[in-house]
């Protein structure tokens, strides 16, 4: 673990800082639904593209 401490000491010496920002708990489910919607749209779009591409290649 000494190398990790040395690494952190060097990072601090160079002046780098880390800041963590957290979202409020009441935003968890809206963010989950937004992410689900994005992935669902991407899935539908990719599925449509694959069917279109295969039909075009077979025709």
The model's pLDDT over 23-44, given as tens digits with 9 standing for 90+, comes to 999 999 999 999 999 999 999 9
Inter-residue contact 16 to 7 (CB < 8 Å): no
The model's pLDDT over 41-54, given as tens digits with 9 standing for 90+, comes to 999 999 999 999 99
Inter-residue contact 11 to 3 (CB < 8 Å): no
User: What is the predicted pLDDT for the residue at 1?
Assistant: 56
18 against 47, higher pLDDT? 47
Cα distance between residue 5 and residue 58, in whole Å: 61
| Look-up of token digits 């599925």 | 47
Instruction: Round the CA-based radius of gyration of the chain to a whole number and report it.
Output: 23
Cα distance between residue 27 and residue 32, in whole Å: 9
């Amino acid at each position: 673990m000494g190398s990790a401490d040395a690494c952190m000491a060097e990072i601090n010496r160079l002046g780098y800082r880390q800041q963590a920002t957290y979202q409020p708990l009441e935003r968890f489910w809206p963010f989950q639904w937004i992410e689900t919607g994005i992935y669902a749209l991407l899935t539908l779009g990719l599925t449509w593209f694959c069917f279109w591409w295969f039909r075009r290649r077979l025709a």
